[in-house]
Amino acid sequence: MLPDLASYEAAEEGPPWRWFLDDEGDLRRLYGAVDADGALSPGWVALDPSLRILGWAPLDHGPRMLANFAALGPPDLHAGVPLNAPVLIVPRVFEQDFCRRLIAYYEQVGGAPSGVMRERDGRTIGVLDDFKRRRDAPIADEALTDEIRARLKYRLVPEMEKAFGWRATRIERYIVARYAADEGGYFRPHTDNNTPGTAHRKFACSINLNAEEFEGGDLRFPEFGTRTYRPPTGGAVVFSCALLHEATPVTRGVRFAYLPFFYDDDGARLREANAHTFEDPAERTYTASERV
C-alpha cells in the first residue's frame, strides 16, 4: 500500500514526488544502479530536488521507501532546514532615474518576442515557442550602453568578485526585457549555458527596473525549493548560469528588467571558438559582447 497522501491533497500540493518508468535503463545507468557485474538492477532510485541520490531500494520495497520519504514532509524541507539558492543580491546598481530612462527607451523603440537558444545538430539557434513569454528591446544607443557598463563595472563586478572569488571581464547583451501580465509573461525552468553558443557564460544577472509595479515575475530556483527572489528596483540578483532557474508568471502589471550575462577571458576564447555554431549571424549581434 502506498503512503497516505490525504494531507498533501488537502493542502492542494499533490504528492511530494514524481516517478519515471525506466524501461530502457537510461536513468539507472546514469545513477549507477547496477550490480557488481554491471547489469541493471531492478529497483527504485530516489532523487532529491537537486537530483542527487537520496536512497535506493529493491523493487518490492518501494512502498516502504515512499512512506519514509513522505514522512520527510514537503520537498522544501527535505534537508531538514530551509535551503537558500546560492545567489547574490546587490542593491543600488542602477539609480531610480536611470531605471526610468531604460524603461522609456523600451517604450520608445518597442520590443519583439524573445526566443530561447537551442542546440540542433551541433548548431545554436534561436527558437520561439511557449517556453518563454517575453519581449526584448536590444539597446543600440552606444552612449546608453556606456553608462550601463560603467555602473556594472564599479557597482556590481567588485561585489561579484567578493562573493564568488571570480572576476568578470566581459559582459554579454544589452537589452531591456518586458514581462507583461496580459501576455502571461514567464520563462520556464532552464539554464543559460547549455548550448555550444552559450557555453562561455558564467553568471547571469537580473536587474529589476520597476520592482514595485508588478506582481509575480520573481526568480525561482527549483533545485532549492519554492522560495522566490526579487531584487529591489535598480538592484541585481546574480547567479551561476548552470543553476536551474525560472521567471514566474507576472500576474499583475508589467515587469521591466535588464538582463546581462558575465564571463571572463577564458570564456571569450571559448565563445570565439564556438562562434561558427550560430545558425543565424544576427544572434551574435543580439548577444554582442564587450569588456567590462
Domain with residue 212: its CATH number is: 2.60.120.620
Shared-domain flag, residues 32 and 100: no
pLDDT digits (tens, 9 = 90+) for 33-92: 777 777 887 888 888 888 888 888 888 888 888 788 777 777 788 888 888 999 999 999
Shared-domain flag, residues 140 and 53: no
On whether residue 92 sits in a domain, the answer given is yes
Decide if 53 contacts 31 (C-beta within 8 A). yes
Spatial CA neighbour of 86 closest among 157, 177, 164, 180: 164
Decide if 241 contacts 203 (C-beta within 8 A). yes
Cβ count near 245 (within 10 Å): 25
On whether residue 119 sits in a domain, the answer given is yes
Shared-domain flag, residues 163 and 253: yes
For residue 5, the model assigns a pLDDT of 38
Shared-domain flag, residues 138 and 247: yes
For residue 261, the cross-strand partners are 172, 204
Shared-domain flag, residues 261 and 153: yes
pLDDT digits (tens, 9 = 90+) for 146-198: 999 999 999 999 999 999 999 999 999 999 999 999 998 999 999 999 999 99
Shared-domain flag, residues 162 and 203: yes
Residue 230, pLDDT above cutoff 90: yes
Write phi, then psi, for 29 (nearest 5 degrees): -65, -40
Using CA atoms, how far apart are residues 134 and 153, in angstroms rounded to an integer?
27
Q: Measuring CA to CA, how many Å separate 75 from each of 15, 71, 103, 158, 284?
A: 10, 11, 38, 35, 40
On whether residue 83 sits in a domain, the answer given is no
For residue 202, the model assigns a pLDDT of 98
Domain of 231, in residue numbers: 88-291
On whether residue 213 sits in a domain, the answer given is yes
Spatial CA neighbour of 183 closest among 137, 115, 135, 111: 135
Shared-domain flag, residues 125 and 12: no
Decide if 135 contacts 178 (C-beta within 8 A). yes
Last residue of a domain, one of 49, 77, 105: 77
Last residue of a domain, one of 44, 77, 110: 77
At 10, the pLDDT band (50, 70, 90 cuts) reads very low
Last residue of a domain, one of 25, 49, 77: 77
On whether residue 280 sits in a domain, the answer given is yes
Shared-domain flag, residues 164 and 20: no
Sorted by sequence, the CB contacts under 8 Å of residue 71 that are 6+ apart come out as 3
Give the mean pLDDT of the chain: 87
Shared-domain flag, residues 123 and 184: yes
Shared-domain flag, residues 62 and 199: no
State pTM to two decimals.
0.85
On whether residue 104 sits in a domain, the answer given is yes
In the chain, pLDDT over 70 holds for what percent of residues? 90
On whether residue 1 sits in a domain, the answer given is no
Count of the separate structural domains present in the chain? 2
Shared-domain flag, residues 175 and 122: yes
Q: Grid coordinates standing for 287?
A: 548577444
Shared-domain flag, residues 172 and 227: yes
Length of the chain: 292
